[in-house]
Amino acid sequence: MRRILFPLFFVLVSMLTIQCQKELRFPDNTGNGTVGPSPIKATLQGRILDENGQPAAGVTVRAGGTTVITDSRGYFRMVKVSLDKNASLVTAEKNGYFKAYRTFPATNGANHVVIKLIKRTLTGTINATAGGEVILSNGAKVALPANGVVKAAGNSSYTGTVNVYAAYIDPTSNDIGQTVPGSFMGDNKEGERVSLQSYGMLAVELESSAGEKLQIAAGKTATITSPIPASVLAAAPASIPLWYVDEQTGLWKEEGSAVKNGSNYVGEVKHFTFWNCDAGFPAVMLTMKMVDAHNVPMPYVTVRLTRNVSGASWPVSYGFSDSLGNISGLVPAGETLLLEVLNNCNTPVYSQNIGPFTQATNLGSISSSSTWQVTISGTIVDCSGVPVINGVAIIDYEDWPRYVSTGSNGFFQFTIVRCTTGPGSCAITAVDNTALQQSTSSFTIAGNTLNTGNLVACGVSAAQFINYTLDGVNYSITSAEAPDYIYGFSLLSGASSYTNSLLGSKNSLNKNINLSFISTAQVVGVYPLSNISTQNYQSINVLTPSTVTVTNFPGATGAFFEGSFNGSFRDSLNLTVVHTISGDFKIRRY
């Protein structure tokens, strides 16, 4: 199977031992007995979105001891990362947002996740001595007891103003598969892994006026009020277990309960994190392979499973197929479920009923065919017309670049579940990684297939480099094989300016450089360097004048930044020394 590659922005890669998890009881792949952790090494990639569903750049993503940063499209990629076949954890962090958690059963293919961040805004303030409550716009409440707050570091008492940051998460929202903390997997108080059905979630964090983390004091409890969505109110039980996110595993843990009061659930909690009002159900492992109408595997498609009870529907499982089309996860046992394939805009484009299942089941291939799908295929050849074996087709469609490796005959194929059935434009850059040649072609997609024919990877040099001299020592980065990287991006920041970043790293030789500059337009010119980080110098004060001269500004994905730079800086850890740096570059834009 051809590898599907995505752009990445590796800033730090540190390999650690995967965290041990205690053994839990739930059906294994045969439906018999119990299983514990099942570690594997695999690829993990994905996309992080902001609260508006737009790409979130500069997000710190961690999994299995590896840390990367998302690029301008919100993408990240990790290679040979420590994952787990039963419950892998990936976290995403960015200033101004709650820390995001996602758990998923990993496969041996390239695993894919999409995470939508939740905005972290100040909901209100409470006097720690007197106690009180804050109310969200939808009626959700957080109430603190008098003299019931301590500093999280050291547990010393706190008597000042408590800043309450809170957000309600609607389990019936269309984007819940992207926003749900962790997943719909949890460990109940009996130590069983179960499938969850949510009636409402809350994210809550407390801070002092100085920004210190606060928590509820030992022996005290806070009260949370969580609205029940109107569509599931009639089916909501009189009382329900409360669950919180275990920050070490990303799984929900059962702790306490809440009581139905009108259209709300009200319960007491002993600490703050994400809280969830959920019913837990015995679960079985379900596995399937997503293919298109031609039986070709469909990588990275979203699958949603929904449970229907008493006229109310709940999503109980979400997942993405891997690079081979495979997907697996826990589902409620003994239930008939609606299986839906979603496009990138969270619109169902295919559905069928499945189940019930009483033991671990492999459904085999699920053939998904709809007018929302488009299959793009073609053959990459070199300047002499010979098929390119070591090649990549960069397919830029619906603002989402897909990197598809060629097979032994230069052929590539990729099926996309798109957001619209109407005509759309598509740009494909054909790259010959052996001859270091490329070319870009534009196409209009009017139907469900696009066969490009032969794409000649010829005419534009695909060679990339960053050459630089630091304090009189010459360095050169020309390789981009993971965990090394070399690439650039432009991110629209505000209404009329772009943040442009040029990056390269040769990890084995401790060569790394990151240059950033601001431009009001994507045009050639001389711009002040706004940031420099290189080698072991990360806390840098850029001195004036420090500039980057751009002689070619890429107008699209696959084109190149070209130019030179010159400047000086001080490392904030030793401000007495001035370092000088200069160099030139040619870097593909992602």
Q: Which of 535, 538, 585, 544 is nearest to 567 (CA)?
A: 544
Output the domain CATH number for residue 18.
Answer: 2.60.40.10
Q: What is the pLDDT of residues 269-313, one digit of tens each?
A: 999 999 999 998 898 889 999 888 778 888 888 898 888 776 666
pLDDT-derived band at 19 (thresholds 50, 70, 90) equals very low
Of 170-179, 257-266, 477-486, the range with the lowest mean pLDDT is 477-486
Q: Do the beta carbons of residue 331 and residue 405 sit within 8 Å?
A: no
Number of structural domains in the chain: 3
pLDDT-derived band at 369 (thresholds 50, 70, 90) equals confident
**Confidence (pTM):** 0.73
Q: Are residues 505 and 488 in the same domain?
A: yes
Q: Are residues 472 and 577 in the same domain?
A: yes
Query: Is position 581 within any domain?
Result: yes
Q: What is residue 81's predicted lDDT score, i.e. its pLDDT?
A: 85
DSSP assignment letter at 346: S
Query: Is position 469 within any domain?
Result: yes
Q: Are residues 95 and 47 in the same domain?
A: yes
DSSP assignment letter at 98: P
DSSP assignment letter at 341: E
Q: Between residues 65 and 314, which one has the greater pLDDT?
A: 65
Q: Which helix (H) or strand (E) holds 131?
A: none
Q: What is the pLDDT of residues 405-462, one digit of tens each?
A: 898 899 998 888 888 777 888 889 999 989 999 999 999 988 888 999 999 999 999 8
Residue 12 has pLDDT above 60, yes or no: no
Q: Are residues 450 and 480 in the same domain?
A: no
Q: Are residues 508 and 448 in the same domain?
A: no
Query: Is position 178 within any domain?
Result: no
Give the structural domain span for 17: 4-116
Query: Is position 245 within any domain?
Result: no
Q: Are residues 455 and 555 in the same domain?
A: no
Query: Is position 123 within any domain?
Result: no
Q: What is the pLDDT of residues 532-544, one digit of tens each?
A: 888 878 667 899 9
Please report the DSSP string for 29-41 in residue order. TTSSS-B---EEE
Q: Are residues 92 and 47 in the same domain?
A: yes
Q: Are residues 419 and 475 in the same domain?
A: no
> 252-261, 317-326, 474-483, 490-499 — which one is most confidently predicted on average?
252-261
Q: Are residues 429 and 508 in the same domain?
A: no
Q: What is residue 342's predicted lDDT score, i.e. its pLDDT?
A: 87
Average pLDDT over residues 483-494: 70
Q: What amino acid occupies position 482?
A: A
Of 63, 89, 116, which residue is a domain's last? 116
Q: Are residues 56 and 28 in the same domain?
A: yes
Q: What is residue 5's predicted lDDT score, i.e. its pLDDT?
A: 41
Q: Do the beta carbons of residue 488 and residue 501 sit within 8 Å?
A: yes
Cβ-based neighbours of 207, under 8 Å, separated by 6 or more = 162, 163, 165, 213, 214
Q: Do the beta carbons of residue 553 and residue 435 sit within 8 Å?
A: no
Q: What is the pLDDT of residues 149-179, one digit of tens each?
A: 999 999 999 999 999 999 999 998 988 989 9
Q: What is residue 484's predicted lDDT score, i.e. its pLDDT?
A: 65
pLDDT-derived band at 8 (thresholds 50, 70, 90) equals very low
Q: Are residues 445 and 396 in the same domain?
A: yes
Q: What is residue 397's predicted lDDT score, i.e. its pLDDT?
A: 84
Residue 28 has pLDDT above 70, yes or no: no
Q: Do the beta carbons of residue 234 and residue 309 sit within 8 Å?
A: no
Spatial distance between the Cα atoms of 75 and 4, rounded to a whole number of angstroms: 13
